[in-house]
Amino acid sequence: MRWRARLAAVAGLLLSLVLLAGCWDQMGISDRAAALMVSVAWHPSGRLSWTFFFPNPTVTVNSQSQIKSTRQLYTVSVAADSWAGAERAAQRLLDRHLYLGQLKVLLWSSDMPAEAVATLVDAYNRQGITSKVAYVAAAPARALPHLLQASPQEVVPRLKWEHVFSCGPCEAIRLSQPLWHVWVDVHTPGMSPVVPYIAASGALSQIAVYGRRGPPVIFTPQQTLGWAVLTDRVTREVLSLTRGGARYTVTGVRGHGATRVAWTGGPIQVDVHVAMSGVLAQAPYGTAGRPREVRAIETATARLLLADCQAAVRRANAEHVDPFGYARTLLFEHPQWARAPRGSDWSDVALRAGFAVSFNLTTPGVTS
Amino acid sequence: MTQPVEPISSGQYLWVMMVSVVAGSVYLWPAYVVKLTGPGAYVSLLAATAVAGGITMLQVGWMRRMAYRSYPAAMQATWSPWLGPVLTWITMLLMLALDAAILYLYGELLQTFFYPATPSWVTVATIGALAVWIAIRSLTVVARNVQFWFPLLLASFVVVLALSTGDMRFPLAATPKWGVSMGSLARASVATWFLYANPCATAALLPHVRPTGRWSAGAVALAAIALQGVILLAILYAALATLGPAVIPDMTWPIIYIFSLIHISSFFVQDIGMLILITWTIAIILHLAVHSYVVAANVGPPLGGHNPQRQYLVAGIGLAMVAGALSVGSVAEAKVWLFQILTPADLAWTVAVVPATALMAWWRTGRAPAPR
């Protein structure tokens, strides 16, 4: 009898293994259509255009070299007013099961208003199975189709934009935003959500800032650099300046700021001390080694960065947004101030900022 | 006459105590408490941990007075042959209801994050069955299972938590704040109690701990509460620092969300945070196994030896838990039951009965404690 009891125990254990592994969800990789990218183009009627990008299943390790980059992805385009609607419509055009757990990039058109972006991000984030670490970005609606074509630089399942956003050394300033950051920013008072803005040319040097409503504020590259300096996102920027008719180039610009935020009614008072450093990469021959020259370039570079910071804050004040999250810092320190002044939501309170930028230049190289 | 129960070591007692609190229900923490007190949640965690520590000390003291006889016998000797079992039954029923709500919510978590197509009754019933399978064995087998698995679970949890430090964006939001209203603080402390609720496991298992080793069993039980408190503290910090206090209240399972964000760039394994799925499933199985074992020991036949009657009782307890879990209608309903009805009820009952029992025992046995 004892071996029968043992057999029953083993059978029971095996059964529990099978059941706890969630058999109903078992599906072969060839039966799943795992979307790698989704682009959403806004339309005032509320009926958005959605395009899902899937890896071409014929791309294998052996066929990689033969398949053209334009054939590596296939797309399904639908019109729908919500995520769920878009998923259903896309599923109708697919012979495999649509799966969003591997999504890498979510792009939306830069004319989409803040309310619609919040709804979109919410609806996506609400599902348990979707990938919350997908990168998000905004781009002009007309540029979406060509921006998302497979690049000859990558072979699926790797994607150009995924690589751009996840490649540390590729970014001079860290602009990448995973979806969950944006979701948290949308719902945390005192912060205007920021997403990278990809220009129609494909250049990535700007941000789109979402106010309380309406389309985003697109910062210029200069304002974006100022924003990046103030939010510690500069990692290896290159700056050019002209002094006395000569051109100088400073590379590897990086640094961090110490920020103090205070509020006693009226504008939010911000004091930032930014300590940056860089490497002198180009200077008129024979001048780079002189200490006086180095100090002069340090001052000039610090002034340049200071002007960028001021430009960023001026733009934020003009547009009533706070992409720096200063008001959020304030609320984190003083949670009892949850009630915003005069019916605002904190992120539109004006900023009064004082900056001090110091710059430390090093001059390595074989010549001085 | 049954054979005596083979005792467990004080080390095993530590692991069993740790798994009997927090381990099964930690995945629900800290959404509700942050909803009530925001960044003041630390205070309510400390308050609930202090209450749990106090209750533990009272139970240890009471057992010493009762000369370490079994829990049902001690209750009968303290109260009366009929009142003792009635009080025990009410305590155990409250515990079963809490466990059922926790089991249901775990089934829903699995379905939401991992198995959207698998019916949640499958995972709920399987977890219940595995818990029963462990609990029908002898105390030493239960303790050895816990002793083997729990340190591994703890280690994997620490690894996952360490990996998630990269996502902690708001250290400022996670620094403790003290200016919280007393009313919300009290409600939040009550709502934290479900983590520490256990079916008097401290007292029920104390007579079966080998009285050797450097630490007394009472100190070990307190250490278990303190260690779990530290883990909860770490989780609270991680949640506040990663997501901030604004979005946590709207989430049902904030911690699993945080762990799902861990992403490493390797070819085969990317979402390493999902290791926690295995960890928590084993943790909840062990948690329910220890609870079923203790409930059966407290209301059923005496422990020791091979007793089919006790095995049927454990199976019945497991069945009741699973049936309770499956009778819940929705996540919202389960949260109302858990946070607003069962947890306050269990806390009120525990802080009334345990001190009353200790006082009663002190009054009955006089001043001289019985020797061990």
Query: Which ipTM value was assigned to this complex?
Result: 0.91
Distances (CA, A) of A123 to A209, B153, B191: 20, 33, 29
Task: Give the start-to-end residue ranges of the domains of chain A.
Answer: 28-218, 234-368
B114, B122, B243 ranked by CB distance to A19: nearest: B122
Confidence category of residue A56, pLDDT binned at 50, 70, 90:
confident
Does A247 contact B at CB distance below 8 Å?
A: no
Nearest by CB to residue B126, choosing from A20, A181, A184, is A20
**Could you give the CA distance from residue B134 to residue B142 in angstroms, rounded to a whole number?**
6
What SS3 state is found at A281?
strand
Contact A335 B129 (CB under 8 A): no
Q: Indicate the residue type of A150.
A: A
User: Which chain A residues have a beta carbon less than 8 Å from that of B172?
Assistant: 329, 332-333
Residue B130 touches partner A, C-beta closer than 8 Å: yes
**Rounded distance between C-alpha atoms, residue A166 and residue B126, angstroms:** 40
How many Å lie between the alpha carbon of B202 and the closest alpha carbon of chain A?
30
Q: For B263, name the nearest residue in chain A, comparing CA atoms only.
A: A133
B133 interface with A at CB cutoff 8 Å: yes
Say if the Cβ atoms of A25 and B115 lie within 8 Å.
yes
Backbone dihedral region for residue B286 (phi beyond 0: left; psi -120 to 50: alpha; all else: beta):
alpha
pLDDT at A349: 85
- Give the one of B40, B113, B172 whose C-beta lies nearest to A129's C-beta: B113
* Pairing assessment for the beta strands A268-282 and A351-362 based on DSSP bridges: parallel
Note whether A128 contacts B: Cβ–Cβ < 8 A. Answer: yes
Contact B118 A22 (CB under 8 A): yes
Q: Any CB–CB contact under 8 A between B270 and chain A?
A: no
Backbone conformation region of residue B56, classed left if phi is above 0, alpha if psi is from -120 to 50, else beta: alpha
Q: Give how far A190 is from chain B: nearest CA, Å.
A: 11
Option in B40, B126, B245 nearest A19 (CB) = B126
Domain boundaries of chain B, sorted by first residue:
10-344
Q: Is A25 on the interface with B (CB under 8 A)?
A: yes
CB B229 within 8 Å of CB B15: no
B342 vs B325: CA distance, rounded Å: 14
Determine contact, residues A324/A231, Cβ cutoff 8 Å: yes
Q: Containing H/E element for A33?
A: strand A32-34
Q: Which of A128, A188, A332 sits opposite B172 (nearest CB)?
A: A332
The tokens describing B228, both together, are 């779990």
Considering only CB atoms, B179 lies closest to which of A22, A329, A336, namely: A336
pLDDT tens profile A130-182: 999 999 999 999 999 888 877 777 777 788 898 899 888 888 899 999 999 99
Q: What's the pLDDT band for A60 if we cut at 50, 70, 90? A: low
Q: What are residue A243's DSSP bridge partners? A: A246
Comparing A320 with A290, which gets the higher pLDDT?
A: A320
Å from B361 to nearest chain A CA? 44
CA distance A328 to chain B (A): 9
Task: Tell me whether residues A332 and B116 touch, CB distance under 8 A.
Answer: no
Structure tokens at A178: 């995973």
The runs of H, that is alpha helices, within A320-364 are 326-333
Nearest 5°: phi and psi at A280?
-75, 115
| DSSP per-residue codes, B295-323 | HHHHHSSPPSS--HHHHHHHHHHHHHHHH
Q: In what order do the strands lie in the sheet with A105-109?
A: A73-80, A48-55, A37-41, A105-109, A135-139, A194-198, A204-209, A217-218
Per DSSP, what are the bridge partners of residue A73?
A: A55
B273 interfaces chain A, CB cutoff of 8 Å: no
Neighbours of A123 (CB within 10 A): 16
CB pairs < 8 Å spanning A and B: 79
Best of B260, B269, B331 to disrupt the A interface (most A CBs within 10 Å) is: B260
Q: Tell me the fold of B10-344.
A: Amino acid/polyamine transporter I (1.20.1740)
Q: Does A155 touch chain B (CB under 8 A)?
A: no
Query: How do strand A97-99 and strand A246-262 relate by DSSP bridges?
Result: unpaired
Radius of gyration for chain A, computed over Cα atoms and rounded to the nearest angstrom? 25
Amino acid at B170: F
Minimum Cα–Cα distance from A189: chain B residue? B246
Contact with chain A for residue B215, Cβ under 8 A: no
Residue in chain A lying closest to B281 (CA)? A20
Comparing CB atoms, the residue among A20, A184, A335 nearest residue B177 is: A335
Instruction: Give the whole-angstrom CA distance, residue A1 versus residue B346.
Output: 44
Q: Which long-range contacts (CB under 8 A, 24 or more apart) does A153-158 make?
A: A155/A59, A155/A64, A155/A69, A155/A72, A156/A36, A156/A55, A156/A56, A156/A59, A156/A72, A156/A73, A157/A36, A157/A55, A157/A102
- pLDDT tens for chain B, 372 residues long, are 456 788 999 999 999 999 999 998 999 988 999 988 877 789 889 999 999 999 999 999 999 988 888 999 999 999 999 999 999 999 999 999 999 999 999 999 999 988 889 999 999 999 999 999 999 999 999 999 999 999 999 999 999 999 999 999 999 989 888 777 788 888 888 889 999 999 999 999 999 998 877 788 889 999 999 999 999 999 999 999 999 999 999 998 999 999 999 887 666 667 777 788 889 999 999 999 999 999 999 998 887 777 889 999 999 999 999 999 999 989 999 999 999 999 999 999 999 999 999 999 998 887 555 554
At residue B212, the pLDDT reads 76
Of B9, B24, B364, B365, give the one whose Cα is nearest residue B205. B9
Nearest Cα of chain A lies from the Cα of B114 at a distance, in angstroms, of: 7
Residue type, B125: A
Query: Mean pLDDT, chain A, as a whole number?
Result: 89
Element holding A34 (H helix, E strand): strand A32-34
B107 in reach of chain A (CB within 8 A): no
> For residue B342, what is the DSSP state?
I
Residue A366: is it exposed, middle or buried by C-beta count within 10 angstroms (0-12/13-18/19+)? exposed
Using a CB-CB distance cutoff of 8 angstroms, which residues of chain B are in contact with residue A189? 246
**Residues of chain A contacting residue B103, judged by C-beta atoms under 8 Å apart:** none
Whether B121 and chain A come into contact, CB under 8 Å, resolves to no
| Residue B298 Cα, gap to closest chain A Cα (Å) | 27
Ramachandran category for residue A39: left, alpha or beta (phi over 0 → left; psi -120 to 50 → alpha) = beta
> Where does A234-368 sit in CATH, by number?
3.30.300.210
A237 neighbors A253 (Cβ within 8 angstroms): yes
